[in-house]
Structure 1
Amino acid sequence: MNNMNKRERLKQKIESHLRHTARQLVKFDTLEETLNYLMDSFWMEFTCDFVAILLKSDNLLVPKAWKGETRQVETALYFQVPSESKLLQEALWGPNGSIGEGEEEFHMALEAENLSTWFTVPLKEREKTFGLCIIGFRNFVPLILEAETYFVEFGRDVAVAIGLAKEKERQKRKIKGMEWLRENIFPGSSIEQMVEKIVDRAVKGTMAQSACVYLYDDQHFRFTYQPPSFGLETFREHLIMDENSTIMTLFPYLELAGGTELTVPLVVNLKTIGVLHVSGKENGYFTEEDLDLLEFLSLHVSTLIENARLYQNEIESRSRLQRIMYHQQELMKKAIEEESLGQMTKTVNSLFGCSILLLDRFIRPISHCFLHGEEDMLNPILQAVKEHEMKIATLRSKELWLALPGNEEPTLGIWPVTGVGQSLGYFVVISRPELWDSVNRLTINNAISLFANEFIKQKLVLDAKEQVKESFINQLFSHQVEDLNQIVQYASLTHWNIMDPHRVAVLSMTLPEKQGDHLHLIDREETKSKLWDQIKFKISSEYTNMMTSRKGDEFILISPLTNETKGTEPYWKRVFGSLKKITHSVNPSIQIYIGVGGKTNRIEDYNDSYKQAVQTNNLVRHRFVKTGVALFEELESYTMLHQINDMSSIRLFVKKKLSPLLHFDGNGADLFHTLRVYLERNGNIKETSDALFIHRSTLLYRLDKIRDLLQIDLNDSDQRFNLMLAYKLFDLHRFTLPQIR
């Protein structure tokens, strides 16, 4: 009975002590005071050997205060514990209590302290768990298990007191934070000054080793490091946000305590403008209190940082616009003063601060201005341009970015220079795409417009010169020269010694026929004009003393005989081969033909040489397609036929000899072609059938039909001569089958 009374009195004493302690705890303003009073009360009342309070930080139990001789409680009782662990839910007694999942480290730590008896008090109020209190004895002490209810209830009271103490501390920190903001952060401060104060406060408030601010660049989808930072850690300049990443990917401890780093977003009007990041906690891991501090800083400085950034951007934009306007005026001035494209390129170089290259419409360099250290970039640029020539030629408005040889990142920007509906050239910069914002693009469009105007001015001058030259050529090639003095005067102005012996050559080209392409005459003419421009450029660089012009569909080449030192035929074959490479690079299906007239000894001979070149060109297109070039003087019988000037007699002769074949009800064109091949093969049946890819019997049938239609003997040499003469005249004068039908 006495033992029962003793147990009851002890239970009442414990209950009374716990109630008194709970009432006292709510009076303290700080967590430290609350925890110290709690330990002292247990230490004095229960004469225990060990008291410790562990507070929960995320999934970690962290020793916050302890009393008694201990070995390594600061590290031994620092461990992870699941939220559903009995340590945080119930009062436990030891060492004979059951060990729940995840509690092994806890029991091992208490055994290491040589505690014979211990019990825990969970500090929990409703759904909020703060941690637990441990009371231990080195000697065995019988525990009153019936008092467990008192301790659980007391744990709730302690949890309330801890919550109140934390809230009071939070309010105090806010007050101090507001005072700090008032004393250190001023509206109108530069963004660098603000960031310096913020990272300093973040480091000192969280005991971190390093801190920095990243601001979000929504144009390039990345976080950009904003100096200055605090500490020795080196921070990356850019953190890229791609389609597969989030802020959590870049900052794993975003608004999450319990790690070796901690990050909070800087938010303005529900938009993330950046982050405040700390790392390297001096004493373990960042806590909820550290997170509260950073969130407080974020709440009050985000708007100030954004305003400072916008203000700085405004100042930079204004300064840049002023600089751009100055350079634009300089560029306009140079264009008005008719400065060269080279001078304009230098001005644009100073405007953008990067290497500039200007190309003509055939993607050849016109002018350039390179930065110091990039002077040797011309050849790599031209190599990259050559590799993407077809893609560049299709540019109309948007720019194209290419990588230089040996690089993966695009650093070569190409803009088309267009005017009057056609490509005039290309503007090239060595830079990075992300540097070209809307202001730069607007500026470059203005610069390109000025370049386009300059191109057009130069083109008008060249076109005017070409028109004068064509007029001069028309006079030179007329049947009777009307104003000899004017021709000599023009030749003198162009430094052309017209009195020296020359040869006139006519160049023609045929484009591949596509289905429906015969209707696009304008496109075909534009293609020919572009090819002719390239050919003229090639001739001006390789054959400097050769004159070029155009007469309708005929492209005229006038070359002095001094160029033929190694022979007339080798020289013109070399010219043909050189020009053929140009057309082949554009389209291998394009064919060119060159007919070369006789030499001139006086001005009146140019008309004859031109006519000879025209007729020779006709023959090349019909008879010498494979060679592509022929000299009038080497055509032998054609040279004599050229002297026949009575066109009506010629047409009548050809029609009389060959038209019956075309009136055949069957395929008269086949008979026309068969007879030509038969005559060219000297009447050899086997060679003719092989050349026509027909059977011998088919050939013999056709020859019989030809004899019947023409009423001639094909074995008669005179008859065969007349037929061959008709074919030569047909080719020489470029007759068509309907003309002789």
Structure 2
Amino acid sequence: MAEAQREKVIRKIEQHLRKTSRQLIKIDTEEQALQYLSDSFRAKLYCDFVGVVFVEDDLFVPKTWSGNVNEVRDTFPLRVDHCSKQLLEHSLTDKEVGLAVDECQLFSLLKKAGVKTWFTVPIKDELHTFGFCMIGFLSYVPLLEMGKHFDEFGQDVAVAISMTRNREMQLKKIEGIEWITKNLSIDAPFEESIEEITTRAGKGTNAEFACIYLYNDYDNCFIYQPPSYGEMKAPKQVRIEHNYILKEHFPFLEKTGGNQMTIPISMDLKTIGVLHVERKRSGVFMDEDLQILRLLSNHIATILENARLYNNEKENRNRLHFLLEYQQALVKETVKHEGFDGIISMLGELFNESVVLFDRFMRPLTYTMDREEEVLIPQLRAEAEKARRKVNPHIVLTEYSQTFSIWPINSGGDLLGYLAVRMSGNELNDYDQIMIEMARNICSIQFIKQKLVLDATEQAKENFISKLLVENVENHESILQYANLFMWDLYNPHRVALLSITLRENELEGCNLLEQQAKKAVVWDYIKVFAVEKTKEILAAMFKEQYLFIVPAEKGVQEFWPQFYKDIQEAGKRSGIHCDILLGVGGKTDNLHDYYASSEQARQALNIVQSRFKEKGYAFFEELGSYTILHQIDNEKTTDLFLENQLGPLEKYSQGKNMDLIHTLRVYLQNNGNAKSTAEELFIHRSSLLYRLEKIESLLESDLSDAEVRFNLLMAFKLYDMRGKMS
């Protein structure tokens, strides 16, 4: 009968253990599961207390307690190393410990509190050892031999606790996602988002402190981003230097079991920061804390990136709006004023840097910079002259450690000028590029305005010259009006000069007629800027596709004209186009009718310079001697016939041959018929010269030793020079 009763009690306890195990699996939270465990044991076994004790930081800590034996409960926590190791290995009873009571602080405590009967059950599974469950009676109770059943029950409880912890973690994840979605918005200020994140991290892991460090590429360090959760005791900067192993800067990187923990915040495989927590209020940071922080860091990375993109877009929109307003102000400036001072001043404010505007000849028009920086302008101009044809616009002034960007200002393919802007770095972002383009466009508008005025002025000059340089001047009143427009005293003596620009072979190669004219126009522009503008009294214009100057006669022949011609040549070289520039100067004028005659004299002088005086480059009509008499010959037919009789046979014979008999004859006559001197000047042997002279006499049927023959030939050569060619 006693045996049957015993079996009945065993089955009853087994059923209770199985029922408790099944019920624990259904419970969602660890706290509820442990409380249910202690309450069910106490109610079913009529014990005096039930406690569930876990291991935390090398201490036994009661998680739940049911009963009134406060002497035992209040003594916790106990050090693990002061208690029996068997508590975590298998079930124990007061009978099994026997004489080992004094070796374990817990056993001694139970004995001292008057607990007559007790047993413990380890709560563990294959992976985790959580602690033990302890059941006690103040009176003697005969314990049955159920150690095996209790051990299996402990394993079931451990599995149930693991499951509840996993469920809690999933719930925390869901709650975390919901919290992030609800509380973190890209519209919220950045500091507010940081505060929400660190608060959630601190409270979720029961830490006293939480903060975020974001990586700064420029300074190569992690920088603390306020605000933090809790008191800030960590360093505000974590310098990387040359050590990029993150774990060496944050020792508890994704590591549990310590009093701090760090989780990287990554975006596109790049670490953009870390989430850092410290000083857990109880215990150490565990796997569940790691999971919470990982969840937060993943969403932080996405939100921070979205916030960054959103803020960048918002900032770019505001910048573009600001640029639009600035552009409108600059356009108004172009309407109000003709110059560039106001425009460049506003651009200096926009860039917050020094700005220099050059014309297309690299002359500084205006600038905005500190007074001590004005010394940079000559060097900047010199460096820009060298590099303006290069693709890279950056100019580094090595002497002054300054970097400028030189940008051409164009309109319809025409170069108008250059804009120089000092840059803080060698790279321009998209916003900088937009500002540069806007500045170039505004300057282009102003240049075009000035060009329109200049073109109108040039057209007026052409009209004026076309009325003045005619053989019979008719509309005196109109001419005087034009003269007043240019503030030019028409009745003072002047000289008319004509200029020729001849492109060299390397410039002509591959160029059509229009391209050749364009090159000549560039040279002419340089001449007007760098030679003519030095003397305001000179009127420069184009007339019938010829380049013309009207210069006050008071400009001395020996003092002014050599320097003026030198300035013209230097301006031509400065243009970068290889060419020969020659100048013919007419006689002085006394009245309106003399300007036509002076222009014709200049034309004849230019023809003679092209034929005889290329080395000198310029000549005055009145210095040409007999050429001035020949200039008065009006009968072209008679002149043509004379040239044909005197030099025609030689020209026809020389065509297609290497022997230029006309040139040989000219040199021979210039050397007064001296065969030796002529041969030396022509670089030929004397016998060869004698052969050529015989050929010339044969073709002309004349004796070169005859003075009359020589005079006629010299006259023919002068007419030839006057005409520039034979008809």
After TM superposition, is the score higher than 0.5? Answer: yes
Asked if structure 1 preserves the Cα contact closer than 8 Å seen for 2:211 and 2:224, the reply is no
Deviations 1:513-572, CA, capped at 9 Å, x for gaps: 2387365211121111122112112245311211111113321112113332xxx13321
- Confirm or deny that 1:479 pairs with 2:471: yes
Structure 2 counterpart of 1:328, one-letter code: Q
Asked if structure 2 preserves the Cα contact closer than 8 Å seen for 1:199 and 1:212, the reply is no
- Confirm or deny that 1:652 pairs with 2:652: no
Give how far 1:307 is off.
Answer: 3.4
Deviations 1:227-278, CA, capped at 9 Å, x for gaps: 5588555578xx99xxxx99879999899669x99772333xxx35761148
Give how far 1:680 is off.
Answer: 2.0
**Residue matched to 2:123:** none
Asked if structure 1 preserves the Cα contact closer than 8 Å seen for 2:668 and 2:675, the reply is yes
**Residue matched to 1:116:** none
Give how far 1:194 is off.
Answer: 3.1
Deviations 1:261-309, CA, capped at 9 Å, x for gaps: 9772333xxx3576114899999xx999997676444213223323332
Q: 1:468 aligns with which of 460, 472, 480?
A: 460
Q: State how far apart, in whole Å, the 2-side matches of 1:506 and 1:437 are.
A: 52
Deviations 1:648-672, CA, capped at 9 Å, x for gaps: 2222212211111122277275112
Q: 1:680 aligns with which of 656, 666, 670?
A: 670
- Confirm or deny that 1:380 pairs with 2:376: yes
Asked if structure 2 preserves the Cα contact closer than 8 Å seen for 1:662 and 1:668, the reply is no
Asked if structure 2 preserves the Cα contact closer than 8 Å seen for 1:360 and 1:424, the reply is yes
SS at match of 2:379: helix
CA change 1:656–1:319 in 2 (3 A) is same
**Residue matched to 1:523:** 515
**Residue matched to 1:313:** 312
**Residue matched to 2:103:** none
Q: 2:720 aligns with which of 730, 738, 741?
A: 730
Asked if structure 2 preserves the Cα contact closer than 8 Å seen for 1:209 and 1:281, the reply is yes
SS at match of 1:503: strand
Q: State how far apart, in whole Å, the 1-side matches of 2:561 and 2:487 are.
A: 23
Deviations 1:667-691, CA, capped at 9 Å, x for gaps: 2751122112222222232332222
Asked if structure 2 preserves the Cα contact closer than 8 Å seen for 1:208 and 1:278, the reply is no
Q: 2:688 aligns with which of 670, 694, 698?
A: 698
Give how far 1:573 is off.
Answer: 0.7
- Confirm or deny that 1:551 pairs with 2:543: yes
Q: How many residues are paired up?
A: 590
Asked if structure 2 preserves the Cα contact closer than 8 Å seen for 1:357 and 1:429, the reply is yes
Q: 1:624 aligns with which of 606, 613, 619?
A: 613
Q: State how far apart, in whole Å, the 1-side matches of 2:162 and 2:676 are.
A: 115
Asked if structure 1 preserves the Cα contact closer than 8 Å seen for 2:480 and 2:490, the reply is yes
Aligned runs of 1:76-87 on 2, under 5 Å?
A: none
Aligned runs of 1:318-337 on 2, under 5 Å?
A: 318-337=317-336
CA change 1:691–1:348 in 2 (3 A) is same
Give how far 1:621 is off.
Answer: 1.8
SS at match of 1:465: helix
Q: State how far apart, in whole Å, the 2-side matches of 1:380 and 1:640 are.
A: 57
Q: 2:445 aligns with which of 439, 449, 453?
A: 453
Q: State how far apart, in whole Å, the 2-side matches of 1:282 and 1:673 are.
A: 107
Q: State how far apart, in whole Å, the 2-side matches of 1:654 and 1:358 are.
A: 57
TM-score (norm 2): 0.67
Which is worse superposed, 462-471 or 712-721? 712-721
- Confirm or deny that 1:429 pairs with 2:421: yes
SS at match of 2:614: coil
Asked if structure 1 preserves the Cα contact closer than 8 Å seen for 2:607 and 2:722, the reply is yes
- Confirm or deny that 1:416 pairs with 2:411: no
Give how far 1:346 is off.
Answer: 3.3
SS at match of 2:473: coil
**Residue matched to 1:571:** 560
Structure 2 counterpart of 1:264, one-letter code: P
**Residue matched to 1:276:** 273
Structure 2 counterpart of 1:214, one-letter code: Y
Asked if structure 2 preserves the Cα contact closer than 8 Å seen for 1:502 and 1:558, the reply is yes
Give how far 1:479 is off.
Answer: 1.0
Give how far 1:499 is off.
Answer: 1.1
Q: State how far apart, in whole Å, the 2-side matches of 1:582 and 1:498 are.
A: 28
Asked if structure 2 preserves the Cα contact closer than 8 Å seen for 1:210 and 1:233, the reply is no
Q: 2:580 aligns with which of 591, 602, 606?
A: 591
Q: State how far apart, in whole Å, the 2-side matches of 1:700 and 1:193 are.
A: 107
Runs of 5+ consecutive residues of structure 1 not aligned to the other structure:
1-26, 48-124, 131-159
**Residue matched to 2:142:** none
Q: State how far apart, in whole Å, the 2-side matches of 1:711 and 1:302 are.
A: 106
**Residue matched to 1:708:** 698
Alpha-carbon RMSD across the aligned residues, in angstroms, is 5.1
**Residue matched to 2:25:** none
CA change 1:34–1:162 in 2 (3 A) is farther
Could you say which structure has the larger radius of gyration?
Answer: 2
Q: State how far apart, in whole Å, the 2-side matches of 1:308 and 1:29 are.
A: 46
**Residue matched to 2:56:** 32
Give how far 1:624 is off.
Answer: 1.2
- Confirm or deny that 1:265 pairs with 2:258: no
Structure 2 counterpart of 1:561, one-letter code: A
**Residue matched to 2:70:** none
Give how far 1:432 is off.
Answer: 4.5
Q: State how far apart, in whole Å, the 1-side matches of 2:276 and 2:57 are.
A: 29
Q: 2:571 aligns with which of 582, 591, 599?
A: 582
**Residue matched to 1:401:** 394
Asked if structure 1 preserves the Cα contact closer than 8 Å seen for 2:212 and 2:224, the reply is no
Give how far 1:311 is off.
Answer: 3.6
- Calculate percent identity across the aligned residue pairs: 34
TM-score (norm 1): 0.66
CA change 1:685–1:353 in 2 (3 A) is same
SS at match of 1:403: strand
Q: State how far apart, in whole Å, the 2-side matches of 1:492 and 1:678 are.
A: 54
Q: State how far apart, in whole Å, the 2-side matches of 1:263 and 1:496 are.
A: 84
**Residue matched to 1:80:** none
Q: State how far apart, in whole Å, the 2-side matches of 1:724 and 1:281 are.
A: 111
**Residue matched to 2:16:** none
SS at match of 1:601: coil
Which is worse superposed, 648-657 or 340-349? 340-349
Asked if structure 2 preserves the Cα contact closer than 8 Å seen for 1:203 and 1:211, the reply is no
Deviations 1:128-171, CA, capped at 9 Å, x for gaps: 9x9xxxxxxxxxxxxxxxxxxxxxxxxxxxxx999999989988
Structure 2 counterpart of 1:388, one-letter code: A
Runs of 5+ consecutive residues of structure 2 not aligned to the other structure:
1-33, 35-51, 62-77, 87-125, 130-158, 229-233
Aligned runs of 1:333-352 on 2, under 5 Å?
A: 333-337=332-336, 340-352=339-351
CA change 1:633–1:385 in 2 (3 A) is same
Asked if structure 2 preserves the Cα contact closer than 8 Å seen for 1:418 and 1:452, the reply is yes
Q: State how far apart, in whole Å, the 1-side matches of 2:164 and 2:54 are.
A: 5
Structure 2 counterpart of 1:317, one-letter code: N
Give how far 1:176 is off.
Answer: 11
Q: State how far apart, in whole Å, the 2-side matches of 1:294 and 1:208 are.
A: 13
Structure 1 counterpart of 2:601, one-letter code: Q
Asked if structure 2 preserves the Cα contact closer than 8 Å seen for 1:327 and 1:348, the reply is no
**Residue matched to 1:86:** none
Give how far 1:316 is off.
Answer: 2.3
CA change 1:464–1:402 in 2 (3 A) is same
CA change 1:202–1:375 in 2 (3 A) is farther
Deviations 1:355-403, CA, capped at 9 Å, x for gaps: 3333222222233334xxx3444542552343233542577xxx82332
CA change 1:417–1:311 in 2 (3 A) is same
SS at match of 1:542: coil
SS at match of 1:500: coil
CA change 1:729–1:422 in 2 (3 A) is same
